[in-house]
Structure 1
């Protein structure tokens, strides 16, 4: 418990649903330690659950994909006034835009301590072309300002992202820390017997091109043409505001052609994973994909790309297979190998479970993050 006074902790996240899926256990653990929990996100239906948890909720005008400069400035100023009014002892910014805008606002408002958590680098860091290069150049300049708070840490989920920012001069290495994702509840996500019918390959993510949806569908076509008997399932919703969004019409077309099944958004991932034989995520880049940690916790083998974030979960040949990014034929070959070899799937599933128990349990991740808070807060509050 905090000994002398209550420490006011504010989470700033650009989606209430993301806070619930990725930061709720941390907020609950912090409350148990005596923190007073506040959450700032844009309004949505998921806010009801935040209020039901007993957290103080603060609406903010922060859009995920906004490109109107005046609206973006409004977002920064809204955070500034919130910080001045609420006077939090520690602000934990989660994801790219809260880090950028909240970091600037926190410096202007003299917030005592800040954690900037980069959970993934988003479309602008996976996009190719001159326009994306120019945008990345200017973003680096803004990152230096946003992450320059004298009493702060930048939290990365994989070493590649940390190295990228340090080498770009966006943040000094001594102000960075590596914590492996948000963790999973290893009691909820536990091994279940593998389905014995036609093998089921599941890709669960937002339906974005840079998640590798196109490569997954192409790999399914290759395997079906080769006579491989398996079901290929996409689980996840569309994301119309994202530049990399796969059109809903295309998802329906693939479904109608019988190439893949598209189940849309589901909130019962333990059940989905129990009904799968293989989990696939051919993403172009990630922070640390929670779905892969959940899959490994459930004893399911993984096929993913040898890219930042993804390769932190998979030990090639141990608990899954790594393939080259944007290579649907190599992806098909890896999936085909696992589809045909149930003993390999079982062995890899056991290895994955052991890895998660040792390195990715939610209790371990929460403890590491709470220890980070303790480093930043004044001794009178710790």
Structure 2
């Protein structure tokens, strides 16, 4: 069977879907990957994937550029003649879905999160939802990573075909193995992993760090991730002042998780937050905004602490609450998170769901 995967960048495909690609290849399928060329493509090719270089502007809104992407997808499908197409993220879901409809190719879409274009009401949202209706119209199955997103798409008649709920991208329990909790220390370090951008709650985190450091100078805030918006100068200044420690983009996040007491994610919206899954799998408590895609990944006061999105006050309260927990309770939270990941978020669950739907075609 020929399987074509459409996505917007290599890192997400390699870090969160590598095991699915390996399983598809192990089952003697030809797997083609269509995405812009980046540093992860050689790694994906080493798994046995066949690369199709495809220009895609992840954040652009130029209709002519997007129309070209649609034409490119149609050409790719006519050349490869895949038996099934798997699509991830907004543009591949929309334009890949339309191309599949035109070429009469079965496809399975994955809503990895609604994104700012859908979350913020207005003209852009209306256009995006209209495009989604076209893109998902003939999908064999649409995977959702949280129930809130699925309900929104069904209630707004965006998707009328088969839907299925999966636990995000799942987590590789072996790669993010359980790590013994750090020894009790006067210094407590919190870890943020994610793209440095407003929608990830970076502004609230910076303000909260300033407030917390005034009363708890021994607390450290480590930030990991590429700056996708204009925060470089601000991060540099805060670094010099000792408010945060910015480490930039890191290939190996597990080593940072291992050295942390807890992970913080003040995101405004998520499909399912991979950083929370990886942190919990490693035995670390999580502090996360109470939004769909985050709230499902922890149990309140058992494996994590929730706070209101976009609220510096609520975030500060959650951080201080965690700081003041007895050491044994912090440690127990990490253990509870690992058990939750083993039971509910094993990546094998996601792989089996895909294999099942592909076999049903």
**TM superposition score normalised by structure 1:** 0.91
CA distance in 2, matches of 1:50, 1:119: 20
In structure 1, what is the equivalent of residue 113 of structure 2? 120
- Corresponding residue number in structure 2 for 1:169: 157
Aligned with 1:263 (options 214, 238, 247): 247
Select the residue among 292, 302, 306 that pairs with 1:318: 302
295-304 vs 212-221, greater mean Cα deviation: 212-221
Offset from partner CA, 1:177-236 (integer Å, 9 cap, x none)? 111111222122122222334111001000011101111111111111223521011111
Distance apart, 1:165 and its partner CA: 0.8
Q: Specify every segment of 5 or more residues in structure 2 that has no aligned partner in the other structure, as ranges.
A: none
Distance in 2, Cα, partners of 1:292 & 1:193? 17
- Runs in 1 of length 4+ with deviation above 6 angstroms? none
What do the CA deviations read for 1:271-293 (whole angstroms, capped 9, x no partner)?
A: 11100001000100000011100
* Residue number in structure 2 paired with 1:140: 129
CA distance in 1, matches of 2:323, 2:250: 24
Q: Which of 334, 337, 347 lines up with 1:349 in the alignment?
A: 334
Q: Secondary structure at the match of 1:268?
A: coil
Q: Where does the alignment leave 5 or more consecutive residues of structure 1 unmatched?
A: 1-6, 240-244, 378-382
CA distance in 1, matches of 2:256, 2:220: 13
- Please give the per-residue CA displacement for 1:271-327, whole angstroms capped at 9, x wherever unaligned: 111000010001000000111000110110010011010011011111101111111
Residues 315-351 of structure 1: CA distance to partner in whole angstroms, max 9, x if unpaired? 1111101111111121111111212322221111111
Contact 1:116/1:153 (<8 A) preserved: yes
**1:180-219 to 2 correspondence within 5 Å?**
180-196=167-183, 197=185, 198-219=187-208
Deviation of residue 246 (structure 1)?
4.2
The 3-state SS of whatever aligns with 2:297 is: coil
Equivalent residue for 1:337, pick from 308, 312, 321: 321
SS at match of 1:65: coil
**Residue 101 of structure 2 is aligned with which of 97, 107, 118?**
107
- Cross-structure match for 1:242: none
Match of 2:43 among 21, 45, 49: 49
Asked if structure 1 preserves the Cα contact closer than 8 Å seen for 2:283 and 2:338, the reply is yes
- Matched residue of 2:175: which SS? coil
- Given that 2:168 and 2:274 are in contact with CA atoms closer than 8 Å, whether structure 1 keeps it comes out as yes
Higher RCO (CA 8 Å, separation ≥ 6 residues) = 1
2:291 match = 307
Say which SS state the counterpart of residue 332 (structure 2) adopts.
helix
Give the count of matched residue pairs.
358
Cα RMSD (Å) = 1.4
C-alpha deviation, 1:67, in angstroms:
2.4
1:363 offset after TM fit, Å?
1.8
Quote the Cα distance in structure 2 between the aligned partners of 1:355 and 1:320. 11
For the 8 Å contact 1:41–1:62, the answer to whether it is kept is yes
SS at match of 2:257: helix
Q: Please give the alpha-carbon distance, in whole angstroms, between the structure 1 residues aligned to 2:231 and 2:334.
A: 33
